[in-house]
């Protein structure tokens, strides 16, 4: 019974003999997986859009400080903030033809109102017609202060809800022009920030930015000696290329010198800069195995892997690095070799580093590390043995038994992959009995049976696959007995009438094959426990006899 797919496809989200995910569908899943930071929607939004708050050191009047303190919590104060914002927009409109100094002063007032709260009144500013006024302020004859204030306002408007972000679209051509070399650095950074917010909203806006030339303009600023500008450009670039359309990544990787620039930033940048560059690499490696090879040949693996030693002090850095490494090892065995080689300098190698991350107690990191391990464990026999002996099994077993559901599922994939040899084309994966026996003896069955009982279809299928492996592979009929002991029969019987056809068929086949009418018959014969009619607890009429 073959529950898996062909693990040879280079575009798999998971090179997994335990999982049926091959071809175009799997490649699409890997790209989709790269678009999020875990399943936490709020964390994903924070990653995609960023509000620029007011500088605490800036001198404000009493009313403004009152707004900063109370505006988000007090309804009356927030209504006052909205009224002041509308008045500021109208004032800017009235000063459209006045001298530059007055216009800048009006922009500063508006910018403060749009940046003094975690929830700025963007909606009333947009409704009052602020965007065309700000576009005018980005004109070619604008001063540096005017450009900075206008771009800051547009940044915070673009950090709002989808409708507010789309309202900034008329300003995009001028924002991109201002990314040029002749623009002051702080203005370039603010314009890149606004563009990053727009790119983080939706694919059609990313397409628009791509057509307007934002990609090359942002990429040029990666080389800026001003760290904050390089960091903002990398963040905006990662939002722009995150797909799912691969065109932006293809164009980026064709730019002269881009690989060298990314390598230099990963090797020499501070942690905050490397976070942003690593996210660029996540989206690059998720799109194509060719790009994975480019990253490897450029020598970027070693500095990326070396950053895994930071797992206990810089959580945000670990997520994109683990994603990037996971994308690379999901490709083919040769790239697994490259990753293992790049991690040789770490204590215990890269597998030891992953084991330490699995033990951190940080759920997001544990899930990402388990995913990387599952891809390594889906490689060759030598990869499986290296993973099995590398120290990850104890933390994986602990996570399978105790962690949140999404982490348990990733741990189960990793453990399952350790127990199945690489398959030949179209053949059933052969069990690695030594690994399987050790895991079963250490109590993993309960965790897989719990997955069978879960409402998640993928997890239930994974659990069934592992139970089938145990029942098929363990010698002397030991497997079915262990499954029965852990209440696995009941778990499978619950799926026999499931709405999902695949789960229904799998569970029925397993129950019939391993727990059919003859299950336990030979054991009962050998123990002499077969009952006869005479000592039966049933009355004669239940045994077919006649009543006297």
Question: How do residues 369-401 score in pLDDT, each as one tens digit?
Answer: 999 999 999 999 999 999 999 999 999 999 999
Reply yes or no on whether the pLDDT at 479 is more than 80: yes
Reply yes or no on whether the pLDDT at 3 is more than 60: no
Q: Name the residue ranges covered by the structural domains of the chain.
A: 444-535
User: What is the CATH topology of the domain spanning 444-535?
Assistant: 1.25.10
Q: What is the pLDDT of residues 75-111, one digit of tens each?
A: 888 899 999 999 999 999 998 777 789 999 999 999 9
Q: What is the pLDDT of residues 273-294, one digit of tens each?
A: 999 999 999 999 998 899 999 9
Per-residue model confidence (pLDDT) at position 485: 94
Distance, CA of 371 to CA of 425 (rounded, Å): 24
Peptide bond into 244 cis (omega under 30): yes
Per-residue model confidence (pLDDT) at position 310: 72
DSSP-assigned letter for residue 37: S
Q: Which residue has the higher pLDDT, 127 or 66?
A: 127
Tokens of 67: 């707004």
- Asked whether the beta carbons of 379 and 14 are under 8 A apart, the reply is no
Distance, CA of 30 to CA of 328 (rounded, Å): 11
Q: What mean pLDDT, rounded, does the chain reach? A: 84
- Asked whether the beta carbons of 144 and 182 are under 8 A apart, the reply is no
Distance, CA of 146 to CA of 108 (rounded, Å): 9
By percentage, how much of the chain surpasses pLDDT 90? Answer: 70
Q: What is the pLDDT of residues 256-268, one digit of tens each?
A: 999 999 999 999 9
Per-residue model confidence (pLDDT) at position 315: 78
What's the distance, Cα to Cα, between the start and end of the chain in Å?
A: 52
Reply yes or no on whether the pLDDT at 520 is more than 70: no
Per-residue model confidence (pLDDT) at position 43: 45
Q: How confident is the model at residue 59 (pLDDT cuts 50, 70, 90)?
A: low
Reply yes or no on whether the pLDDT at 486 is more than 90: yes
- Asked whether the beta carbons of 479 and 472 are under 8 A apart, the reply is yes
Q: What is the pLDDT of residues 399-455, one digit of tens each?
A: 999 999 999 999 999 999 999 998 764 456 789 999 999 999 999 999 999 999 999
Q: Which residue has the higher pLDDT, 252 or 57?
A: 252
Q: Which of 20-34, 52-66, 501-515 has the highest mean pLDDT?
A: 501-515
């Amino acid at each position: 019974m073959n529950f898996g797919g062909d693990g040879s496809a280079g575009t798999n989200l998971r090179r997994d003999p335990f999982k049926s995910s091959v071809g175009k569908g799997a490649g699409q899943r890997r790209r989709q997986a790269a678009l999020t930071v875990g399943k936490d929607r709020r964390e994903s939004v924070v990653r995609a859009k960023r509000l620029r708050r007011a500088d605490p050191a800036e001198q404000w009047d009493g009313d403004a400080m009152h707004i900063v303190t109370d505006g988000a919590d007090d309804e009356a104060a927030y209504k006052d903030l909205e009224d002041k914002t509308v008045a500021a927009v109208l004032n800017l409109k009235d000063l459209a033809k006045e001298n530059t100094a007055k216009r800048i002063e009006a922009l500063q007032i508006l910018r403060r109102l749009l940046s003094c709260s975690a929830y700025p009144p963007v909606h009333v500013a947009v409704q009052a017609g602020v965007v065309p006024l700000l576009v005018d302020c980005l004109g070619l004859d604008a001063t540096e202060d005017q450009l900075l204030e206008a771009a800051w306002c547009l940044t915070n408007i673009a950090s709002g809800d989808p409708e507010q972000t789309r309202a900034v679209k008329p300003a995009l051509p001028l924002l991109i022009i201002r990314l040029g070399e002749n623009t002051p650095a702080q203005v370039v950074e603010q314009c890149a920030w606004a563009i990053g917010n727009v790119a983080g909203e939706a694919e059609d806006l990313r397409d628009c930015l791509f057509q307007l030339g934002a990609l090359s303009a942002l990429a040029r600023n990666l080389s800026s000696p001003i760290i904050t500008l390089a960091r903002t450009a990398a963040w905006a670039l990662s939002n722009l290329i995150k797909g799912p359309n691969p065109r932006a990544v293809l164009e980026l990787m064709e730019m002269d010198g881009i690989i060298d620039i990314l390598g230099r930033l990963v090797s020499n940048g501070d942690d905050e800069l490397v976070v942003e560059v690593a996210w660029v690499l996540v989206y690059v490696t998720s799109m194509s195995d060719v790009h994975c090879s480019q990253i490897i040949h450029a020598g970027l693996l070693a500095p990326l892997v070396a950053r895994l030693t930071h797992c206990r002090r810089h959580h945000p850095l670990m997520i994109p690095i683990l994603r990037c490494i996971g994308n690379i090892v999901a490709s083919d065995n040769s790239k697994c070799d490259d990753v293992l080689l790049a991690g040789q300098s770490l204590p215990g190698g890269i597998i030891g580093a992953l084991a330490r991350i699995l033990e951190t107690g940080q759920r997001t990191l544990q899930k990402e590390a388990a995913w990387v391990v599952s891809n390594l464990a889906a490689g060759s026999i030598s990869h499986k043995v290296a993973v099995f002996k590398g120290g990850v099994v104890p933390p994986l077993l602990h996570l399978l038994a105790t962690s949140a559901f999404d982490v348990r599922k990733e741990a189960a994939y990793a453990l399952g992959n350790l127990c199945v040899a690489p398959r030949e084309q179209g053949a059933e994966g052969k069990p690695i009995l030594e690994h399987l026996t050790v895991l079963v003896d250490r109590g993993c069955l309960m965790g897989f049976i719990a997955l069978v009982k879960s409402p998640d279809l993928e997890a239930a299928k994974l659990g069934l696959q592992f139970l089938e492996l145990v029942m098929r592979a363990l010698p002397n009929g030991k497997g079915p007995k262990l499954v029965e002991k852990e209440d696995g029969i009941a778990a499978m019987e619950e799926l026999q009438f499931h709405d999902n056809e695949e789960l229904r068929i799998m569970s029925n086949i397993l129950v019939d094959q391993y727990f059919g009418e003859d299950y336990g018959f030979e054991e009962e014969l050998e123990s002499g426990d077969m009952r006869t009619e005479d000592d039966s607890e049933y009355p004669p009429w239940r045994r077919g006899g006649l009543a006297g």
